[in-house]
Amino acid sequence: MRQVLACLFAILISHSAAAEVPAQRLATLSRGVNLIDVFSDKKPLPALLNDLTTIQRNGFRHVRFFLDPAWVWRPGEPQRLDQVLKAAFAAKLGVIICMQSYVKEFKDDPVVIDRWTTAWKQIAAHYAKSDPDRLFFELVNEPPGTDVPRWAAIQEALRRNVRAIVPHHTLLLTGAPTSTSSALATLPPSEDDNVAYVFHVYAPMIFSHQGADWADPAFGTVHGLQYPPNPDNIEAIRRRISPSRQADLTEYAKLGRGIITREIEVANGWGRKYNVPLVVTEFGVYRAAAPPQSRAAWLRDVRQTLEHDKIGWTIWEYNGGFGIKPELDLGCGDLPASLGLCH
């Protein structure tokens, strides 16, 4: 009997150890960049594959991109996705596939949840034999607000459906609403050990989203806001921004660099409490209105804080309004250095 119990105990220990996120996967998730044009009809596949080579050459270890449930059933798919993954793996890059709809956002609706679940089951089945050290599945991007127990139940149901198909891949879970650090800190951890938890960092948004009137018209009134805050610059900005953002500006002036630490520590404290790995899958600055040196300084402070806390990161983004490609194309400058890419 003792021998049987000993064997059972050894099996349980072995299973538990195997279920934890392996160190090499956390290393892959340590430094990455978001790609927003994987499924763009205007982006030729050779150009996209060239981007992957450039990304790897600059020292990134993974890429993240969105997969719309509607694309799962689009004619010709997942041929393009297969080619992108093949090229990424050949470049020794990991890939985070994150579900996100540009037409019908995820919400607490039985029809939408069923659609998401069906799409995930098809994707998981298609890539069930892929390398689990390279491919990661992020179940929902920035889920909308709902009560915490309800969101936890929805996400756990999604996780169970995917886990039944891919028993060895690492899954990425998040908090609602919108994957903030405070939302993550309310989430009960999953019973699944082979998961990492993600959140996004854009604090202070009055800096990171200055000029982004598509996010909030009031952000469109903010241009040239410096980081770290400069009193003269703050007062000049204050005279011309929307009244709805005055309080944000005051908080930014008061907290300065500490606003980043405060944002990250909320999630980091939760991660330490439950001894779970964390990854920031989005952080960035809209480039149109931010002073370039301030943008680089903010990215440096976020990146260094995350690395100090052993939190992986994925910058938003390679191409697009927040994109870092123009700076990477120029070689080692302020922005690449801020991300630790210059050696």
The per-residue pLDDT for range 25-67, each reduced to its tens digit, is: 999 999 999 999 998 878 899 999 999 999 999 999 999 999 9
Please report, for the domain that includes residue 33, its CATH number. 3.20.20.80
Among all chains, which residue has been given the structure tokens 């060895």? Answer: 168
For 173, what's the count of Cα atoms within 13 Å in the CB-facing half-sphere? 30
> How much is the pLDDT for 12?
35
Cβ neighbourhood burial of 37 (10 Å; 0-12, 13-18, 19+): middle
Q: How many CB atoms lie within 10 A of CB 254?
A: 10
- State the residue range of the domain holding 163: 23-205+260-338
Q: How many CB atoms lie within 10 A of CB 204?
A: 22
- Let me know if residue 40 belongs to a domain: yes
Low-confidence ranges of the chain (pLDDT < 50): 1-18
The per-residue pLDDT for range 264-278, each reduced to its tens digit, is: 999 999 999 999 999
- Let me know if residue 88 belongs to a domain: yes
Distance CA 247, CA 325 (A): 33
Which tokens is 95 given? 């890939």
Distance CA 167, CA 125 (A): 11
| SS3 at position 96 | strand
> How much is the pLDDT for 13?
33
> How much is the pLDDT for 15?
34
Q: How many CB atoms lie within 10 A of CB 279?
A: 26
- Let me know if residue 238 belongs to a domain: no
- Let me know if residue 244 belongs to a domain: no
Answer for the pair 314, 64: CB distance below 8 angstroms, yes or no. yes
> How much is the pLDDT for 8?
35
- Let me know if residue 142 belongs to a domain: yes
- Let me know if residue 301 belongs to a domain: yes
Report the DSSP beta bridge partners of residue 64.
34, 96
State the total domains in the chain.
1
For residue 162, give the amino acid letter.
V
Closest CA to 72 of 94, 52, 101, 96: 101
- Let me know if residue 169 belongs to a domain: yes
The per-residue pLDDT for range 58-94, each reduced to its tens digit, is: 999 999 999 988 877 677 678 889 999 999 999 999 9
- Let me know if residue 243 belongs to a domain: no
